[in-house]
Amino acid sequence: MELTETLKNTLASKKDMYLTVRIVPKSPYTKIVDVMTDGSYKIRVAAPPTDGKANAALVRFLKKELCASDVVIVSGKMDRVKLIHLKTA
C-alpha cells in the first residue's frame, strides 16, 4: 500500500494524530516518499523554503492528500524536521 494511503487510513480511523516529517524543499514535485528509520516521514515539497512557502505547501498537500480538516505545524516551523498535528472532521 502506498504511504499516502496508509497515512490516510490511519488518520481516518484515529481522527486525530501527530506526525513527524522531514521535508526536502525545492523538489521537482510534492510527495510522501519514504519512512525514515526513526519513524518520521520524508516529504518532498516543490515550494522553496523562503517566506513560509514550503510550510504552506506542506499544509495544503497534507490537507488534500490525507483528507485532513486541520493541519497545524506544532514545532519546527524554521527547520526541515517538523511535528505536525492532523485532524479529521
Chain segment 8-22, per-residue pLDDT in tens:
998 989 989 999 999
The pLDDT tens digits of the residues spanning 5-60 come to 989 998 989 989 999 999 999 999 999 999 999 999 999 999 999 999 999 999 99
Residue closest to 55 by CA, chosen among 79, 29, 19, 31: 79
Query: Which CATH number fits the domain 3-87, given the four candidates 3.40.50.2000, 3.30.1200.10, 3.30.70.20, 3.90.1640.30?
Result: 3.30.1200.10
Does the pTM of the predicted model rise above 0.85?
A: yes
Helix (H, G, I), strand (E, B) or coil at 20: strand
